[in-house]
Structure 1
């Protein structure tokens, strides 16, 4: 009977988390755009991204927005990244190239390169994305910038991944929507804790006011989430999740590469504010506990009651997380939500263990 009681407690906590997500997942399909048209700088930091830049620079330049510049930052690339940047810059005066040379003190640090790009930006309102990202529409900039105001200095956007066949792609996209549901929900309730560099906007005022990346320059990742965790508040942060404001990245094709990427990202979580570490850590712990206790209760306790609890929890999950998946245009994942979650929590556990013994590498 103890197993059933423990399972019931875990299910209740799981459902409380899901209910916390309801204001976001059951919100409208996106925020409206205003008529304001602030001059803006779009910044892309690239390291050995020649092919992606060749494909994506035309998409960024084709944005339907009256006044913007494109800051392309070459982070000591060894391929033709700089050549591609300079080629497009010769053809379009809106492009400004920042060529970052190897710096022994900041070797492999995207934050150092990005800081130089921010210093080069002519406009205080800045939109950030990655070289492997493409905007979902020609109004991407307009949607992101529209949320700026005198009070709102940080705009959190959604950066999804392109749909491809296979289990790895489904897992990548599922992990992405779960992360987005969490950071959008927390921010909507006045407790922002992260954003993604694939689609993020903030002003130079808030960047310099919080010392930029100086407090975590030695951490490989975190130019997005650690900065937002430090600088974002309930009053200075806004959300933009209209489908035309999305960006889509090229997903990893091999398990090994995605695993390595997740290991790098996991290095930032320990630097979040204590309240965020507790809330996010508890979410993961209770998800893991649910699956362990569900199996144990079915095997060693009253399996009928256990099945009812499992069905109830999964039903709540389907309704709330499924609604979030619809909002973020990932409806094809909905039938597989519990299976993807089980797979994900197991992989996250292995990533956490592995990250404790891994060595530092460069950001790309």
Structure 2
């Protein structure tokens, strides 16, 4: 019984830690209303880095070309593709004079390194303000550029946006992918709103070239295969220079993975970059994920023995209710309302997935971005 007492007190402490995160941190974005901004047509370069993306480029580049914005260029980077990506890019460039082509060939020093390709694209960009989107991604509206650039200001040089994934009917994996994306957005938006920005996503992110050069580009983490987006933001974002953009018209939408294996491979690459975050960010994020795991494991363990089941059940229900309200409100704000009903189930699968990825990354490291 002594062991059960200890586990019970651990469970109570974990519940309070979880409530702290939801009611202090994640509530920050859930109840945040979009700020009114004055639309300013600053010239902007849209950066698209593509590696073996010929079909996606054909499908999604027109959605950028159709943007209702007076002054922008598109920098299309071919990162040593082995398919017809370069031909597709050059075809677009022949038809549209707003497109700049950057053809990157592998070098021994930067073999298969996306950051090297992006650096060449950023240097080739015409304008100081840069807006990033992935090759397998499209803006959800023709005002995407104007929505994102409106957040730039005298002090704001980093803009964090939301990158959604296309909905696939009757697919639990798709719901899981989108729920994990909502959880991630809930955190990086909330932390940034509280003045401690720690990451952004490259499929919808903006910053200035001046800031890029101030950081000496990606030099601090050039040997880390992933992290061209979140590690740069983690290094350079501050409470003063970072702004949020989460109006529905500012979202982008990416092609989701359709197999568990492909998704896990993608997430392994993304999660591996967290080891290079600032220590304070690692602590806050790590404590949140550990407390999630312990909440479910200790709670279910105690209930299986009916140990103080009235108190355990009450605390269990309280935490789930608070999460349902906070994450549910966030999901609705990000146009993911269909996920709300499944939040507890999806959370369990996300926790197990993250645990599996953590173990896999300890055994072997993901090596390339494609």
Q: TM-score, normalised by structure 2?
A: 0.96
> In the alignment, is the contact (CA less than 8 A) between 2:268 and 2:366 conserved in 1?
no
Question: Alignment partner of 1:257: what SS?
Answer: helix
Question: How far does the alpha carbon of each residue in 1:171-219 deviate from its partner, in whole angstroms, 9 at most, with x for none?
Answer: 1000000000000000000000000000000001110101110111111
Q: What is the CA–CA distance in structure 2 between the aligned matches of 1:261 and 1:336, rounded to whole Å?
A: 23
Equivalent in the alignment of 2:105: 101
Equivalent in the alignment of 1:176: 181
Find out whether 1:126 has 2:130 as its counterpart: yes
Find out whether 1:315 has 2:327 as its counterpart: no
Q: What is the CA–CA distance in structure 1 between the aligned matches of 2:113 and 2:95, rounded to whole Å?
A: 30
Q: What is the CA–CA distance in structure 2 between the aligned matches of 1:11 and 1:35, rounded to whole Å?
A: 43
Equivalent in the alignment of 1:240: 245
Find out whether 1:111 has 2:115 as its counterpart: yes
> In the alignment, is the contact (CA less than 8 A) between 1:21 and 1:182 conserved in 2?
yes
Report the alpha carbon displacement of residue 360 of structure 1 after superposing the two structures with TM: 4.0
Equivalent in the alignment of 2:64: 60
Quick one: which of 341, 344, 358 aligns to 1:335? 341
Equivalent in the alignment of 1:192: 197
Report the alpha carbon displacement of residue 3 of structure 1 after superposing the two structures with TM: 3.0
Quick one: which of 126, 132, 139 aligns to 1:135? 139
Find out whether 1:352 has 2:358 as its counterpart: yes
Question: Alignment partner of 1:106: what SS?
Answer: coil
Report the alpha carbon displacement of residue 103 of structure 1 after superposing the two structures with TM: 1.1
**CA gap 1:304/1:188 in 2 versus in 1, 3 angstroms:** same
> In the alignment, is the contact (CA less than 8 A) between 2:69 and 2:146 conserved in 1?
yes
Q: What is the CA–CA distance in structure 1 between the aligned matches of 2:364 and 2:87, rounded to whole Å?
A: 34
Q: What is the CA–CA distance in structure 1 between the aligned matches of 2:329 and 2:227, rounded to whole Å?
A: 29
Find out whether 1:17 has 2:21 as its counterpart: yes
Q: What is the CA–CA distance in structure 2 between the aligned matches of 1:240 and 1:338, rounded to whole Å?
A: 28
Structure 2 unaligned segments of length 5 or more: list them. none
Find out whether 1:269 has 2:274 as its counterpart: yes
Question: Alignment partner of 2:22: what SS?
Answer: helix
Q: What is the CA–CA distance in structure 2 between the aligned matches of 1:327 and 1:289, rounded to whole Å?
A: 28
Equivalent in the alignment of 2:285: 280
Q: What is the CA–CA distance in structure 2 between the aligned matches of 1:289 and 1:238, rounded to whole Å?
A: 33
Q: TM-score, normalised by structure 1?
A: 0.98
Report the alpha carbon displacement of residue 359 of structure 1 after superposing the two structures with TM: 4.3
> In the alignment, is the contact (CA less than 8 A) between 1:118 and 1:204 conserved in 2?
yes
Aligned residues: 363
Report the alpha carbon displacement of residue 356 of structure 1 after superposing the two structures with TM: 1.5
Question: Alignment partner of 1:72: what SS?
Answer: strand
**CA gap 1:360/1:333 in 2 versus in 1, 3 angstroms:** closer
Q: What is the CA–CA distance in structure 1 between the aligned matches of 2:189 and 2:71, rounded to whole Å?
A: 28
Find out whether 1:299 has 2:277 as its counterpart: no
Q: What is the CA–CA distance in structure 2 between the aligned matches of 1:318 and 1:46, rounded to whole Å?
A: 38
Quick one: which of 229, 233, 237 aligns to 2:234? 229
